[in-house]
Amino acid sequence: EGDVSKMREVVAVAQHHDAVTGTAKQAVTFDYQQRLSEGIQDCQEVIKYAYQNLMPTSKSSAAPPELIFCPLMNTTECPITETSTQLIDNVYNPLARPVSKYVRLPVTSPGFDVIAPNGQKIETQVIPIPKPVLLIPGRKSSATYELIFRADLPPIGFKSFFVIKNASVAERQLSKPSRMA
């Protein structure tokens, strides 16, 4: 069961000055990382329950829809966006004011429509991932592009965007490279 207590305890541990400033021995740093990772996973369970109470169940199953997080977005890596032809992207704004966020999803090719909750297709852009990112040691991803769209979010609330493959828009949404010189 999801519980935020684990994260609360881990953050308390990580207030030691070694964790704050990075002066721990390497093995201790690994331990901090593992504890934080476990705490984050428990918090994600809590978020899953919240979403599942708000989302529709599928036709074929009474089970609530699955919710997937991509913790490796810092290396532009996300298995679900790289392999799916359609998915729902849930974007939650924890701030108490509206914000606009430019969402960047790792994909293997251009050619996606993004549909806002009101049914309107929203503007998209696709840009190749820079080569140094593709070469990050340990990166296990087939994504070579990023799909970009703007999410206008309500305060302390979320919007779900319907992302669906549409090869016919690939040419139009892919930004063409040009060289400075």
When asked if residue 16 is in the footprint of other proteins (CB under 8 A), the reply is no
Question: Which residues inside 40-59 make contact with other proteins, applying CB under 8 A?
Answer: 44, 47, 51, 55-56, 58-59
Q: How many residues does the chain have?
A: 181
Rank residues 5 and 85 by Cβ distance to other proteins and give the closer one. 85
The whole-angstrom separation of Cα 140 and Cα 75 is: 9
The whole-angstrom separation of Cα 113 and Cα 166 is: 6
Structural contact between residues 93 and 158, judged by C-beta atoms closer than 8 angstroms: yes
The distance of closest approach from Cβ of residue 130 to other proteins in the complex, given in angstroms and rounded to an integer, is: 4
The distance of closest approach from Cβ of residue 124 to other proteins in the complex, given in angstroms and rounded to an integer, is: 8
The distance of closest approach from Cβ of residue 175 to other proteins in the complex, given in angstroms and rounded to an integer, is: 4
The distance of closest approach from Cβ of residue 1 to other proteins in the complex, given in angstroms and rounded to an integer, is: 18
Rank residues 5 and 33 by Cβ distance to other proteins and give the closer one. 33
The distance of closest approach from Cβ of residue 138 to other proteins in the complex, given in angstroms and rounded to an integer, is: 5
Question: Which residues inside 108-167 make contact with other proteins, applying CB under 8 A?
Answer: 115, 117, 119, 123-125, 127-128, 130-133, 136-138, 148-151, 153, 160, 162, 164
Rank residues 37 and 58 by Cβ distance to other proteins and give the closer one. 58
DSSP class of 57: P
The whole-angstrom separation of Cα 126 and Cα 41 is: 30
Rank residues 3 and 66 by Cβ distance to other proteins and give the closer one. 66
Instruction: Report CA dihedral (125, 114, 76, 93) to the nearest 10 degrees.
Output: 110
Residue 53, φ and ψ in degrees, nearest 5? -70, -20
3 state DSSP class of 55 = coil
Amino acid at 146: E
User: Of residues 41, 90, 109, 166, which one binds other proteins by CB under 8 A?
Assistant: 90
Indicate the pairing of strand 157-165 with strand 86-93. antiparallel
Q: Segment contacting other proteins (CB under 8 A): 6-14, 31-39, 84-92?
A: 84-92
